[in-house]
Structure 1
């Protein structure tokens, strides 16, 4: 109560006081650039991802552009200790995506290297994916993949640096015969998702890959 009084929750865009469970006010919510993708149909994300990996389905909640409200939201989640934003983004997903048909078998999050996890204090995907797991009744696996190479945050890299994450991930157990829904925050070059997908596909049999991201950089 005292914390809420001293540090009231404000809209990320207009700075108006809002409920502590929200991140933007109702007026500014209209400024959020939702993708309007359909998870089961062709969309710009699946078209881009299919150039690198075999993809069953794909969905991006937001369109990520510089100086946009979507960028503010993601940056607050990742770099300003606003971990609970993940729950709000997950709720936005569940309002827009029905996974009842062709339901994935397992939700898998992109891991952080232990150094980055220690520095940040949390993986920004965990609350997000846990909320999705509870809603859709699909198990989530946070340790199926291990990050074995440490690098700077994607947002701080140039394009050539983003393409140098090959062999950065390692599969920790067998997942033959599963339909995996890979979960990440922002899809940029697709290099992270591609490397993870090929690590899974190269070390497993009869596996299908789908993608769900918080935002897609156009």
Structure 2
């Protein structure tokens, strides 16, 4: 209680004091550029994925644009120790994502290298996926994938380095005949999800769909 008085939770956009379980105030929430697309739509992200690997469906919650609110939210989640932001974003996702008859069998998140995980203290995708797992009653597996190499954050790489993802990930368990929903925070070039998708697809008779918090358009 005392800490809440001394260090109140503030809106990430306008700095107004807000409830502890919020990220932005009601006014700034209206400035978030949600994609307003259905899971079964032929979306921009699905078209991009189809150029890289066989994808079933693809859904992006927000648009990741320069200086917009979604960029600030994801930056807080990844770099400002705001792990609980993942739960809030999952709530927004659950309000907008309807799997209908295409519900996946498992939720799988893009893994961090153990060194990066130790540095950050958490994987920014885990609480997001766990919250969605409970809401949709779909199991998650944080250990199905392994990142093989320690790398700089994508934001710090030039375009050429972003393309150097060969053999970056491995599937750690026998898996076949599953529809996997691969979860990431931001879809930029698509090379990370494509690299992982091929690992999952070639591991057995599997299918892959994609869910990201934001897509860089």
Considering the TM-score relative to the shorter chain, is it more than 0.5? yes
Secondary structure of residue in 2 paired with 1:13: coil
Cross-structure match for 1:3: 3
- Structure 1 residue 201, shift from structure 2 partner: 1.2
Secondary structure of residue in 2 paired with 1:141: coil
What's the CA shift string for 1:115-169, capped at 9, x where partnerless? 1000000000000000000000000000100011110001111111111111010
Runs of 4+ in 1 over 3 A off after TM superposition: none
Residue 51 (structure 2) pairs with residue 51 (structure 1): yes
- Structure 1 residue 59, shift from structure 2 partner: 0.3
**Structure 2: 5+ residue stretches without partners:** none
**Alpha carbons 2:105, 2:139 under 8 Å: kept:** yes
Cross-structure match for 1:128: 128
- Structure 1 residue 174, shift from structure 2 partner: 1.2
- Structure 1 residue 66, shift from structure 2 partner: 1.6
Secondary structure of residue in 2 paired with 1:95: helix
Residues in 2 aligned to 1:109 and 1:65: alpha-carbon distance in whole angstroms = 23
Cross-structure match for 1:94: 94
Cross-structure match for 1:161: 161
Cross-structure match for 1:212: 211
Secondary structure of residue in 2 paired with 1:186: strand
Residues 80-91 of structure 1: matches in 2 within 5 Å?
80-91=80-91
Normalised TM-score (structure 2): 0.98
**Alpha carbons 2:58, 2:210 under 8 Å: kept:** yes
- Structure 1 residue 77, shift from structure 2 partner: 0.2
**Alpha carbons 1:145, 1:170 under 8 Å: kept:** yes
CA-atom RMSD in angstroms: 0.7
Secondary structure of residue in 1 paired with 2:146: strand
Residues in 2 aligned to 1:150 and 1:66: alpha-carbon distance in whole angstroms = 27
Cross-structure match for 2:195: 195
**Structure 1: 5+ residue stretches without partners:** none
What's the CA shift string for 1:158-191, capped at 9, x where partnerless? 1111111110101001110000000000000000
Normalised TM-score (structure 1): 0.98
**Alpha carbons 2:108, 2:180 under 8 Å: kept:** yes
